[in-house]
Amino acid sequence: MNSTAGKKIFLAGLFHETHSFVDETTPLSSFEILRGNEIFQCLGDASPMGGFLEFAKECGWEISLGVDYRAIPSGTVEDEVVEAFWQDIRENWTSDADAIFLVLHGAMASVSTPDVEGEILKRIRQLPGAGSIPTFGVYDLHGNFSPAMAEFSTCLIAYRENPHIDAREAAIRSAKLLERSLSDNQVPKVSLRNTELIWTPERTGTTTDPMQTLERLARNLEAQDSSVWAANITAGFAYSDTPVSGVSFQIVGTGDYENVLDEWESVSEKLDLTAPGIELLSPTEAMEQLGKSDGLTVLTEPSDNIGGGAPGDGTGLLRSLVEHEVEQAAICINDPAAVEILQDVEIGNTLTVALGGKGSRLDAGPLTLEIELVSRSSGSFELEDKQSHLASVAGSYFFMGPTAVARHKGITILLTSNKTPPFDLGQWRSQGIEPTDFKVIVAKAAVAHLRVYEPIASNVIWVNTPGPCTPAIDTLPYRFRQGSR
């Protein structure tokens, strides 16, 4: 029998990657909220919450259910979300809990609170009985890890992979460390180093530098130093405006790691100067590259990165496809207004519709096209890849909202009502569209789409278009971030 069987673990989740520089704010209605026994719906799915629940069941832990809030990346969170979440935590808190486990993102910012996770952890520690019990959890490596997060937690484990194929596994790693803490009655501490470095998402893939070398250093430390429970390389999220947005390191253990953190910071600064970045072509240059290789070319549009909080309706690449009369091309545009217009149109009919360009002042605006309506659907699909980046947010299923497929000459346009990160091919196949039938697909992403598209693509091109996830982060109007470079 497990020595920690019967331990009571208070469980809650708060998951949102906040883009501070888009026009929209994110209200409470944008969050999917699971309360009480509804959280057990995640048991067995592909999410971090599902991974923790599975491990907890194997250990025989009693789960004291709090609440789970999650939403797709979007604009600054309205304060009502933070207070509603906190109210749910207080109402469900039980003072006899033996430990706390939290499923977080780490880059959530509200109108009044730039460091939401740090504030919530601080408040939790003030609850009756919560001041000294182990507080473990899991978070996205794009979190902006604050001193408050380090002070008021015992051990938070970051994903190690980008694309995030290990989100569920990371939750299980953290749960295993919680079991160790409860079994051995040991409580490690978090040693944190925030740096002045700030990297755009396309620089944070873990199969290339700078992240690859830093991850290797962290794994070597875990293997060589028995005092180390875990080491996190946190890339940060450049578009979330917090006092500590950017690269940070945490070592969880029982030793003194200042020298190690000094070394890692020095290495990261050198890599920042020497690691090659992704080459961004202009739309015209990208169009000139089409046809130079056989098979599918994926045009990556990081400025409209849905997984980074952009609206997903930018018209930059759509305009180029139309202007250059590209054939066998496909693009997804998040445009609920256009979908609504198409609800009463007969399949096969044509009409003129203004598409996209509604979500960001940086975009050129809607593009008016004559389109043929091909199909409509509810927009629900099961993820084909249960380890994809999308699974870390949604589990095993995703809802694109009412959806329409349209065609303009040689371009297939998938129109959605909910922002859908392009991290799973089920997005296309659920609509009767086979991605491998195309010569060109546009992906509004930075890195995470590579897991699903690299196996079917002969070429991936990054294109520089106007949008809120601009690589020119020095042009962003930070209010809280200090000393970034």
Q: HEC states along 282-327?
A: CHHHHHHHCCCCCCEEEEECHHHCHHHCCCCCCCHHHHHHHHCCCC
What 3-state class would DSSP assign to 299? strand
Q: What is the mean pLDDT of residues 83-107?
A: 98
Mean pLDDT, the chain, integer: 96
Q: State the CB neighbour count (10 A cutoff) for residue 169.
A: 17
Backbone dihedral angles phi then psi of residue 317, each to the nearest 5 degrees: -75, -30
Judgement on whether residues 47 and 195 belong to the same structural domain of the protein: yes
Judgement on whether residues 295 and 170 belong to the same structural domain of the protein: no
Tokens of 159: 């994903």
Q: Answer yes or no: is 177 within a domain.
A: yes
pLDDT score, position 1: 59
The last residue of one of the domains, among 214, 241, 274, is 274
Per the DSSP assignment, residues forming a β-bridge with 102 are 12, 137
Q: Answer yes or no: is 481 within a domain.
A: no
Query: pLDDT band at 164, cuts 50/70/90?
Result: very high
CATH of the domain at 79: 3.40.50.2300
Tokens of 284: 């015209």
Judgement on whether residues 335 and 384 belong to the same structural domain of the protein: yes
Q: Answer yes or no: is 1 within a domain.
A: no
- Measured CA to CA, the distance from residue 41 to residue 35 in angstroms comes to 10
Q: Answer yes or no: is 3 within a domain.
A: no
Judgement on whether residues 84 and 227 belong to the same structural domain of the protein: yes
For the chain, what is the domain count? 2
- Measured CA to CA, the distance from residue 188 to residue 254 in angstroms comes to 5
Judgement on whether residues 285 and 248 belong to the same structural domain of the protein: no
385 or 1, greater pLDDT: 385
Q: At what angle do helices 167-184 and 48-59 cross, to 10 degrees?
A: 30
Judgement on whether residues 449 and 342 belong to the same structural domain of the protein: yes
Over the stretch 273-299, which tens digit does the pLDDT of each residue have? 998 878 999 999 999 999 888 899 999
Q: Answer yes or no: is 468 within a domain.
A: no
Over the stretch 423-459, which tens digit does the pLDDT of each residue have? 999 999 999 999 999 999 999 999 999 999 999 999 9
**What is the DSSP-derived secondary structure letter of residue 61?**
P
Judgement on whether residues 349 and 322 belong to the same structural domain of the protein: yes
pLDDT score, position 429: 98
Tokens of 172: 């299980």
Q: Answer yes or no: is 478 within a domain.
A: no
Judgement on whether residues 315 and 367 belong to the same structural domain of the protein: yes
Host domain of residue 449: 280-463
CA 365 to chain centre: 26
Q: What is the mean pLDDT of residues 4-26?
A: 96
pLDDT for residue 89 is more than 70: yes
Judgement on whether residues 96 and 242 belong to the same structural domain of the protein: yes
The last residue of one of the domains, among 274, 309, 324, is 274
pLDDT for residue 59 is more than 70: yes
% residues pLDDT > 70 (the chain): 99
Query: pLDDT band at 163, cuts 50/70/90?
Result: very high
Judgement on whether residues 294 and 253 belong to the same structural domain of the protein: no
The last residue of one of the domains, among 274, 305, 330, is 274
Per the DSSP assignment, residues forming a β-bridge with 26 are 77
Q: What is the mean pLDDT of residues 234-239?
A: 97
Closest CA to 157 of 179, 142, 136, 180: 136
Backbone dihedral angles phi then psi of residue 332, each to the nearest 5 degrees: -105, 130
Q: Can you give the length of the chain in residues?
A: 485
Q: What is the mean pLDDT of residues 305-326?
A: 97
Q: Answer yes or no: is 86 within a domain.
A: yes
Judgement on whether residues 232 and 314 belong to the same structural domain of the protein: no
Q: Answer yes or no: is 475 within a domain.
A: no
pLDDT for residue 485 is more than 50: no
pLDDT score, position 55: 98
- Measured CA to CA, the distance from residue 308 to residue 238 in angstroms comes to 9
Judgement on whether residues 149 and 62 belong to the same structural domain of the protein: yes
